[in-house]
Structure 1
Amino acid sequence: MDRLTTLIKRFQLRVGPVDPAAARLLIVAEPGSAAISFDDGIGGGGALLFCTEPVSGRETHQTCADKGQKILLAMGVSWSRSTNPFLAALPDCIRYPLQDDPAACELVRLIVQEDRGGRCGADSVVSRLGEILMVRLLRDQIARGSAEPGLIAGLGDPRLSRAIVAIHDHPGKPWSNDDLACEAGLSRSRFAEVFAAEVGETPMGYLRRWRLILARQDLVRGDRVDAVARRYAYGSSEGFTRAFRKAHGVAPVSLRKAVA
């Protein structure tokens, strides 16, 4: 069961150069107080820091300085903050220690070598390796779960995650509560209770919200309203339009006209 790939593809995870004005940052930081340099190897308190809210370079350096760390490398991250339910569920700043992940340490070493080497294609290599680091960090977040209701907590639950992944991967299927409870291996009543407690909304509520997030993406891309309505199991364009307007505050046809 893959809890990340659909989210990564749908919201186009990208890692690249830092926007000088503001960006969500993936930072490789190492302790400022310890005599650790790139040549000594990453570890001994080194960490990845992912800032999920846009911050300026000055704010980033100040945050690391306050934590007694120095920045080895910073990369910009794009992952559709405005509609991405996974990103919205993350805390403002995530710290992923590197000392217990030798593979991540080696990735960091390769990234820094490419960044400093000035060789052909270095930007592409740094971007691809940075995306791998992001996946490792996100996996760790799922494994840790969350004390707060939301998508992270739901994906961290081995029962609920099966139902959530089914929703993510097959949004056009005419799911019922019974179907999703079966995916989770729970009774309907127990599934509804646990889902609401962990995710913070009902299973059908999350299904509707996910469908309408995807529908917005498709409309912005230029897809027809009636085709999108059918794709996400709406019985009519009118019913889809009402649901879409309630969720997004605009009529679906207005988004399609904007790209026509």
Structure 2
Amino acid sequence: MDPLSDFLALLRPRSAASSRFDAGGGWSIRFGGQQQRHIKSYVVLAGECWLAVDGREKIERLEQGDCFVLPTGCPFRLASDLGLPSVSALTLFPAAGPGGVVTLADGDDFSMLVSRFAVTGKHADQLLQMLPAVVRLHKDADQAALRWLAERMMHELREPKPGSDLVTQDIAHMTLVLALRAHLNGGLDQDTGWFFALADQQLSRAITAMHAEPSRRWTVRELGKHAGMSRSVFALRFKAAAGETPMQYLARWRMLLACDRLEHSSDSVATIAEALGYESESAFGTAFKRVLGCSPRQYSKACDEDDALDTDKSSSLSP
């Protein structure tokens, strides 16, 4: 698969939910009092509002037809007027069930479709932090696609049929893929990070090579050839774009693959080590601990202990 598909496959979305939010008059709502493993998408059906995301200077003005996705689940505000005091979304949406409608005041001025889904796995936090905080779709075709997906998800949740669980999970995945693809093609407003490096056509070729053969003993020179650059130029450009060296990225990607297999397969540590190109289980364990701060077996044990807790967290439906 391509790097973006590889990356998103590890997120494993589930527990999708959708609802509509209607508001009237002046209002201001704060969403997300804590970091959550939820990816959220929004489609403005009618009216206008402001979007202010914590840690991001740019404030967005949203109008009818606008679509945006918050991959990291970071806190934000939606408001008709940002000067108004904010009300916590937790006080407004405690009873918002799948496919439900929440109305504030008369609900005549603004309407928005909200879709959200949890992502699972102990490595999900690392993966989400590699994505942009806000993805806004600007092209009509992209907006139309996301709106259709949001409406379809709401329909599946409101009127469940055989296979609806699988349909909503697939819609969640498609929503994120289409949004990130549009973001890559439309230009980025961030300076560093994996996603920024992936948008660079030359660096993307090197990243694709690493993903295609993660077990290969790559050198910076070989990766530079894939990118069409000299070793030194490639190393400097990769570090400037991604915020880490090519070898650091390769090691981290290998460990993310290892985490996924430790969580979701019965493979032994020795088998995983060999599959990722390590000469011995000991060498793999050393690399794993250097990146993640614990041994593979400690990680695997923690995954077993956290399964029930992750299930409880993913059931939240608050937008």
Q: Taking structure 1 as the reference length, what is the TM-score of the superposition?
A: 0.77
If asked which structure has higher relative contact order (CA below 8 Å, sep 6+), I would say 2
- Residue aligning to 1:235: 279
Asked if 2 retains the 8 angstrom alpha-carbon contact of 1:163 and 1:183, the reply is: yes
Q: What is the one-letter code of the residue matched to 1:77?
A: A
Cα distance per residue 1:207-258 (max 9 Å; x no partner): 1111122223323444322222222222232222222222222222334566
Partner of 1:155: 198
The reply to whether residue 7 of structure 1 matches residue 38 of structure 2 is no
Q: Which residue of 2 aligns with 1:165?
A: 208
- Give the 4+ runs in structure 1 shifted more than 4 A: 54-57, 59-62, 83-86, 256-259
1:126–1:159 distance in 2 versus 1, CA, 3 Å: same
Query: What is the identity, as a one-letter code, of the residue corresponding to 2:170?
Result: R
Is residue 167 of structure 2 the alignment partner of residue 136 of structure 1?
no
| Equivalent residue for 1:218, pick from 228, 253, 261 | 261
- Establish whether residue 71 from structure 1 lines up as the match of residue 143 from structure 2: no
Residue in 2 that maps onto 1:33? 47
Q: Map 1:202-213 to 2 at 5 A.
A: 202-213=245-256
Change (3 A) 1:13 1:110: closer
Structure 1 SS opposite 2:214 = coil
Equivalent pairs, count: 246
What's the CA shift string for 1:169-199, capped at 9, x where partnerless? 3211111112111111111111111101101
Look up the SS of the partner of 1:29 in the other structure.
strand
Corresponding position: 1:103 with 2:135: no
Name the aligned partner's letter for residue 135 of structure 2.
I
* Offset at residue 159 of structure 1 (A): 0.3
Deviation sequence 1:49-69 (CA, Å, 0-9, x none): 32522669826979xx9xx95
Are 1:28 and 1:47, in contact at CA under 8 Å, matched by a contact in 2? Answer: yes
Mapped pair 1:16 → 2:16: yes
Distance (whole Å) between structure 2 residues aligned to residue 83 and residue 113 of structure 1: 28
**1:182 is matched with which residue?**
225
Quick check: which one's helix share is greater? 1
**Alignment correspondent of 2:289:** 245
The reply on whether 1:82 has 2:126 as its aligned counterpart is no
3-state DSSP of counterpart to 1:159:
helix
**Aligned mates of 2:66, 2:291 — CA distance in 1:** 42
Q: Is the 8 A contact 1:6 1:169 kept in 2?
A: no
Q: Is the 8 A contact 1:30 1:45 kept in 2?
A: yes
Residue 135 (structure 2) aligned to one of 84, 94, 100: 94
Please, what TM-score do these two structures have when normalized by structure 2?
Answer: 0.64
Picking from 58, 74, 94, the partner of 2:89 is: 58
- Relative to its length, the structure with more strand (as a share) is 2
C-alpha contact (below 8 Å) 2:74/2:133 kept by paired residues: no
Structure 2's unaligned 5+ residue stretches are 19-33, 49-62, 77-87, 94-103, 305-319
Aligned mates of 2:46, 2:243 — CA distance in 1: 40
**Aligned pair in 2 of structure 1 residues 134, 79: CA closer, same or farther (>3 Å)?**
farther
Query: Share of identical aligned residues, percent?
Result: 29
Contact residue 3 and residue 165 of structure 1 kept, 8 A: yes
